[in-house]
Amino acid sequence: MRPRRKARLERRDPCGVSGARGRMGRAVGQVLDAREDLVVAARFDRGETPDLSLCDVVIDFSTPDASVELARHVAARGGPALVIGSTGLSDDQEAEITKAADKVAIVRSGNFSLGVNILVGLVERAAARLDAADWDIEVLESHHRKKVDAPSGTALMLGEAAAMGRHADLAELRIAAREGITGERPVGGIGFAALRAGGIVGDHTVLFASEDEVLTLSHSAIDRSLFARGAVAAAVWVKARSPGLYDMQDVLGFRQA
């Protein structure tokens, strides 16, 4: 029985975890450890030099500087593929990631929730099919009391998806939180509202409203580990892809729809 167990483990696809001691890195490691088709071949943090020849793909939740350094390194050696979840990259750092994607396959996303990214695709399609002259769009989000920014990055993703569906720029359509006498709602605008309370992990709703009916698309996060599971799903998808820069819309097949 022991040799058979060893043979099964050897067929597991090897993954690396960058930023392995961070909160998200630990969560990704736990998800990988629970899988029977994947195995963690390397765990490392900023300043450490792993043997990337052991990996088919690396999942990176580190820092912008470390992500760029890792992308340069894998591009220079022609692999492995990357999944990058680090946030707060500058325009120059984003350009470095894009350049590296000429040599290796990279999935880059600010939110790896499978549900949120399906919601993004649905919002874009709904906005494309519902006339802006008749249908108003509002993005509503709720988070825990310690969140310091509003609207959330995910709310902005949803707003951008709605604007894209209407072939417009969100900056031109965005309506900030309202207070006082604001006048009539501008036609075609995309409104935002945010709540902060208790320990809410994250709730997002996009509301489409006409004079006659209301369509609501929403997502609720229950456990933060969902982001790690989404990143692992992206790793499974990207490890056999051709060089290029992808996002979760590609992983979920919305780009092909």
Q: 58 forms bridges with which residues in the sheet?
A: 16, 82
The predicted model scores a pTM of: 0.74
pLDDT tens digit string along 187-241?
A: 999 999 999 999 898 899 999 999 999 999 999 988 878 889 999 999 999 998 9
Active site residue 146: no
In this prediction, residues 83-103 reach a mean pLDDT of: 91
Residue 101 reports pLDDT greater than 60: yes
Question: Could you give the CA distance from residue 204 to residue 140 in angstroms, rounded to a whole number?
Answer: 6
Within 8 A by CB and 6+ apart from 132, the residues are 166, 187, 188
pLDDT tens digit string along 163-187?
A: 999 999 999 999 988 888 888 999 9
Question: Could you give the CA distance from residue 86 to residue 92 in angstroms, rounded to a whole number?
Answer: 15
Lowest mean pLDDT, pick from 85-94, 123-132, 236-245:
85-94
Enter the tokens of residue 55: 């990996």
Provide the residue type at 134 as one letter: D
The predicted pLDDT at position 6 comes to: 44
In the block, residue with structure tokens 């790690």: 228
Catalytic residue among 99, 143, 167, 219: 143
What is the average pLDDT score of the chain? Answer: 90
* Burial track 202-211 (b if 16+ CB lie within 10 A, e otherwise): bebbbbbbee
Grade residue 12 by pLDDT with cuts at 50, 70 and 90: confident
Residues in the chain, overall count: 257
pLDDT tens digit string along 40-81?
A: 999 999 888 889 999 999 999 998 899 999 999 999 999 999
Residue 147 reports pLDDT greater than 60: yes
Burial class (CB within 10 angstroms; exposed 0-12, middle 13-18, buried 19+) of 8: exposed
Q: Are 25 and 37 in contact (CB under 8 A)?
A: no
Q: 207 forms bridges with which residues in the sheet?
A: 138, 216
The predicted pLDDT at position 246 comes to: 96
Q: Are 67 and 27 in contact (CB under 8 A)?
A: no
The predicted pLDDT at position 88 comes to: 72
Catalytic residue among 73, 147, 204, 239: 147
Active site residue 239: no
